């Protein structure tokens, strides 16, 4: 019986000691900022200034390219995917992309040869391909969206 | 109640207590902030202490099964945390040292003593 | 102790139940004791206020107008009010990107003006991919780039904590991307710091592989993290995924924060990360801000998620 009590007491004592063992910290925190570059990044905040409510929602931009030629080939942006994923056209053709998503997208060539502005819902973008080749492109906002335009002679 | 039986009881209780203390210490020193793992630590520690106390004062045999389950679970969780990760948590090697190693040894001891207890019982039954 | 026969008598059942009840009771008591000790230990260390306290807000998408949230400016205002009414002045506020939805000059003006309503000594930002839709981040940098390096990254020290703000939303191929120049910046930036300096890293896109199929990862993050491997406390906070998520890998803990605009699906829950329209009245439970505090001596930061009320 006594040995059990001793063991029990020892267990409790160790737990309590483990919890209280850390020394209290006496430093008062200082929140001054130091930067390596010299200039201070970020915006200085307005301490004490009341917040300014702005109930007006911003406008969403939409870009409409000039009317595409009648013979242009089309790529549709649907549900975060380019349809068709591979489009084959002749040299000199113009491809027109149309965004059917609510979310904005862009058309950005992997080799940098074309980069659309931000395309809102229903916006279109056209690009003419003067040379043959295989042109991979992505959406620069959602780069997991990718497709290819194959330009043949 | 043989001498071996008493020693096994004390051994399992002590091993469970050590494992519980390690987890409680780590909980108090930062692991409480880790999502899910923090809760698991405090659960492991409190159940370990409870089972250790009850085994020590002579509780029924199923308590040792409970001890083995808790210790075994802690060992499995430890292995998972070093390999594929557990609830988004993973660590390397034997960090935090020495608590990780101490706890693993205590849990292995618990499981080992439980096996010894089973073997003992089987021998006792065979003797009639 | 004798072997119980395969059928238990009522007396034995009561006996075993009593032991079981004792086990549960003791476990609860033990848990309370440990929890109490943990709380007082932390309070003893704190002695007044934490070493560093800041707020994270993210993905305001000013300019978005869709069913998922017809008034993102209104909910961003609410988030700012939420931060202003925390009961203390945070040491700084960080916006982890996608401040605007379409990178237009008007949207940048609007969000910058709204941020001046925050009552905090400093407000920091990192850009999201929506902030550099058509100009590789030029308009973002005119609005928010003062004092930053390269494409908009920087670092600073506050209350003994080293904070690094990274830009991983330019030159994307499929995932977030930091680039060689920025990696060199990080390597040099931390070279002289002692191992026990707590490090906090902000970025828009997660620096860990949360869901690469949707671009929720950074292709060269591993190298950055290798420079931080020796530090005992590294915490990475990001936005982009519009949901709270965390992962711990050894000494580094990653926390994704939620948005003030509209929710996105859980990884894999649907074909793409499209805005999710929640049932009426449920939107504000999915939007929120985050309080973060650091106590000297504790490697893990304490986070509190706050929904918009």
Q: What is the pLDDT of residues A31-80, one digit of tens each?
A: 556 554 446 777 776 554 433 333 333 333 333 433 333 335 889 999 99
Least confident of B30-39, B51-60, C264-273: B30-39
3-state secondary structure B24-48: HHHHHCCHHHCCCHHHHHHHHHHHH
* DSSP letter, residue A120: -
In a mutational test of the C interface, the residue from A11, A22, A31, A101 whose CB has the highest number of chain C CBs within 10 Å is A31
Chain B partners within 8 Å of C38 (Cβ): 27-28, 32, 42
List of chains touching C (3+ CB pairs within 8 A): A, B
Residue A46 lies in a domain: no
Chain B partners within 8 Å of A18 (Cβ): 21, 24-25, 28
pLDDT at position A22 is: 39
**Is the confidence at residue C189, as pLDDT, over 90?**
yes
Take residue A141 and report the two structure tokens written for it: 């906002």
3-state secondary structure chain C: CCCCCCCCCHHHHHHHHHHHHHHHHHHHHHHHHHHHHHHHHHHHHHCCCCCEEEEEECCCCECCCECCECCHHHHHHHHHHHHHCCCCCCCEEEECCCCECCCCHHHHHHHHHHHCCCCCCEEEECCCHHHHCCCCCHHHHHHHCCCCECCCEEEEEECCEEEEECCCECCCCCCEECCHHHHHHHHHHHHCCCCCCCEEEEECCCCCCCEHHHCECECCHHHHHHHCCCCCCEEEEECCCCCCEEEEECCEEEEECCCCCCCCCCCCCCCCCCCCCCCCCCHHHHCEEEEEEECCCCCCCEEEEEECC
> Cβ–Cβ of A80/C272 closer than 8 Å?
yes
- The listed range with the strongest mean pLDDT (C8-17, C21-30, C293-302) is C21-30
Q: Mean pLDDT of all residues in chain A? A: 69
Least Cα separation, residue C235 to chain B (angstroms): 12
Is the backbone peptide bond immediately before C33 cis, with ω within 30 degrees of 0?
no
- Per-residue pLDDT, averaged over C100-128, amounts to 95
Chain C partners within 8 Å of A146 (Cβ): 174
Select from C305, C201, C207 the least CA-distant residue to C257. C305
Chain C partners within 8 Å of A105 (Cβ): none
**In angstroms, rounded to a whole number, what is the distance separating the alpha carbons of residues C139 and C85?**
31
**In angstroms, rounded to a whole number, what is the distance separating the alpha carbons of residues A153 and A91?**
5
In a mutational test of the B interface, the residue from A1, A2, A4 whose CB has the highest number of chain B CBs within 10 Å is A4
List of chains touching B (3+ CB pairs within 8 A): A, C
**In angstroms, rounded to a whole number, what is the distance separating the alpha carbons of residues B84 and B89?**
9
Chain B partners within 8 Å of A22 (Cβ): 29
In a mutational test of the A interface, the residue from C29, C112, C117, C134 whose CB has the highest number of chain A CBs within 10 Å is C134
> Cβ–Cβ of A104/C48 closer than 8 Å?
no
Counting residues of chain C whose pLDDT is more than 90, the rounded percentage is: 80
pLDDT at position A71 is: 38
Q: Distances from the Cα of B58 to the Cαs of A97, B1, B62, B107, C6, in angstroms?
A: 78, 10, 11, 20, 21
Structural domain range at position A139: 73-152
In a mutational test of the A interface, the residue from B3, B57, B59 whose CB has the highest number of chain A CBs within 10 Å is B57
Take residue B6 and report the two structure tokens written for it: 């008493």
CB environment C18-33: b (16+ within 10 A), e (fewer): eebebbeebbeebbeb
**Is the confidence at residue C37, as pLDDT, over 70?**
yes
C49-307 has which CATH code? 3.60.21.10
Chain A partners within 8 Å of B42 (Cβ): none
**Is the confidence at residue A12, as pLDDT, over 60?**
no
Interface of B with A (CB under 8 A): 10, 13-14, 17, 21, 24-25, 28-29, 49, 52-53, 56-57
Structural domain range at position B14: 3-127
Q: Which residue in the set A4, A7, A18 is minimally distant from B21, CB to CB?
A: A18
- Per-residue pLDDT, averaged over B86-101, amounts to 80
> Cβ–Cβ of C250/B50 closer than 8 Å?
no
Number of domains in chain B: 1
Residue A115 lies in a domain: yes
> Cβ–Cβ of B90/C27 closer than 8 Å?
no
Question: Does any CB of chain B come closer than 8 Å to the CB of residue A8?
Answer: yes
Take residue B31 and report the two structure tokens written for it: 């692991």
Question: Does any CB of chain B come closer than 8 Å to the CB of residue A19?
Answer: yes
Q: Each residue of C223-244: pLDDT tens digit?
A: 999 999 999 999 999 999 999 9
Question: Does any CB of chain C come closer than 8 Å to the CB of residue A25?
Answer: yes
Q: Which residue in the set A11, A18, A22 is minimally distant from B17, CB to CB?
A: A11
Sheet holding A81-83, edge to edge: A81-83, A73-78, A94-99, A124-128
Residue A97 lies in a domain: yes
Question: Does any CB of chain C come closer than 8 Å to the CB of residue A80?
Answer: yes
pLDDT confidence band for C3 (50 / 70 / 90): low
* Three-state DSSP state, A128: strand
* Three-state DSSP state, B55: helix
Least Cα separation, residue A123 to chain C (angstroms): 13
pLDDT confidence band for B128 (50 / 70 / 90): low
Residue A63 lies in a domain: no
Chain A partners within 8 Å of B53 (Cβ): 8, 11
Q: Mean pLDDT of all residues in chain C? A: 92
pLDDT at position C46 is: 62
Number of domains in chain A: 1
Residues 6 or more apart in contact with residue B112 via CB below 8 angstroms: none
Hey, CA dihedral for A90, A94, A100, A106, is it positive or negative?
positive
**In angstroms, rounded to a whole number, what is the distance separating the alpha carbons of residues C222 and A108?**
26
Least Cα separation, residue C6 to chain A (angstroms): 31
Helix A2-20 to helix B37-56 angle, to the nearest 10 degrees?
160
> Cβ–Cβ of A7/B14 closer than 8 Å?
yes
Cβ count near A72 (within 10 Å) = 16
Question: Does any CB of chain B come closer than 8 Å to the CB of residue A15?
Answer: yes
The residue of chain C nearest to residue A17, with distances taken between CA atoms, is: C37
CATH number, position A138: 2.60.40.420
Take residue A136 and report the two structure tokens written for it: 């991979």
């Amino acid at each position: 019986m006594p040995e059990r009590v001793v063991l029990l007491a020892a267990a409790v004592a160790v737990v309590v000691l483990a919890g209280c063992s850390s020394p209290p910290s006496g430093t008062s925190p200082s929140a001054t900022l130091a930067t390596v570059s010299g200039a201070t990044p970020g915006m200085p905040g307005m301490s004490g200034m009341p917040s300014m409510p702005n109930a007006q929602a911003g406008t969403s931009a939409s870009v409409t390219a000039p009317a595409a030629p009648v013979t242009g080939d089309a790529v549709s942006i649907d549900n975060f995917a380019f349809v068709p994923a591979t489009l084959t056209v002749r040299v000199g053709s113009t491809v027109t992309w149309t965004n059917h998503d609510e979310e904005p997208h862009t058309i950005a060539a992997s080799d940098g040869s074309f980069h659309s502005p931000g395309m809102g819902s229903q916006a279109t973008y056209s690009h003419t391909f003067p040379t043959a080749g295989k042109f991979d492109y992505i959406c620069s906002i959602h780069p997991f969206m990718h497709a290819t335009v194959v330009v043949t002679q | 109640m043989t001498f071996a039986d008493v020693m096994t009881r004390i051994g399992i209780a002590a091993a469970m207590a050590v494992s519980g203390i390690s987890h409680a210490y780590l909980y108090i020193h930062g692991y409480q902030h880790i999502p899910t793992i923090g809760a698991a630590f405090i659960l492991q520690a409190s159940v370990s202490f409870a089972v250790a106390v009850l085994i020590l004062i002579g509780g029924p045999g199923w308590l040792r099964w409970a001890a083995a389950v808790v210790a075994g679970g802690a060992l499995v969780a430890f292995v998972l945390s070093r390999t594929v990760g557990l609830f988004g948590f993973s660590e390397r090697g034997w960090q935090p040292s020495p608590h990780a190693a101490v706890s693993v040894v205590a849990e292995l001891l618990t499981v080992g003593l439980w096996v010894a207890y089973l073997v003992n019982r089987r021998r006792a039954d065979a003797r009639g | 102790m004798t072997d119980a026969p395969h059928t238990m008598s009522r007396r034995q059942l009561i006996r075993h139940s009593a032991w079981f009840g004792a086990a549960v009771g003791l476990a609860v008591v033990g848990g309370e004791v440990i929890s109490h000790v943990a709380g007082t230990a932390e309070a003893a260390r704190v002695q007044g206020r934490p070493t560093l306290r800041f707020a994270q807000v993210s993905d305001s998408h000013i300019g978005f107008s869709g069913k998922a949230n017809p008034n993102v400016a209104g909910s961003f205002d609410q988030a700012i009010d939420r931060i202003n009414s925390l009961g203390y002045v945070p040491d700084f506020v960080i916006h982890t990107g996608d401040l605007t939805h379409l990178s237009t000059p008007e949207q940048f003006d609007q969000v910058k003006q709204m941020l001046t309503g925050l009552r905090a000594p400093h407000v920091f930002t990192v850009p999201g991919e929506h902030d550099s839709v058509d100009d590789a981040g030029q308009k973002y940098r005119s609005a928010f780039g003062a004092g930053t390096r390269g494409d908009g990254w920087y670092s600073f020290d506050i209350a003994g904590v080293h904070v690094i703000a990274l830009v991983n939303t330019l030159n994307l191929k499929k995932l977030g991307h930091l680039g060689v120049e920025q990696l060199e910046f990080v390597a040099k930036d931390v070279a002289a710091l002692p191992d026990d300096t707590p490090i906090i890293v902000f970025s828009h896109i997660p620096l860990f592989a949360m869901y690469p199929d949707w671009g929720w990862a950074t292709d060269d993050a591993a190298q950055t993290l290798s420079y931080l491997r020796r530090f005992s406390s590294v915490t990475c906070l990001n936005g982009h995924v519009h949901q709270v998520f965390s992962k711990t890998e050894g000494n580094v803990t990653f926390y994704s924060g939620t948005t003030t605009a509209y929710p996105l699906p859980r990884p894999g829950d649907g074909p793409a990360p499209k805005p999710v329209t929640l049932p009426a009245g449920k939107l504000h439970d999915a939007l929120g801000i985050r309080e973060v505090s650091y106590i000297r001596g504790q490697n893990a930061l304490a986070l509190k998620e706050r929904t918009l009320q």
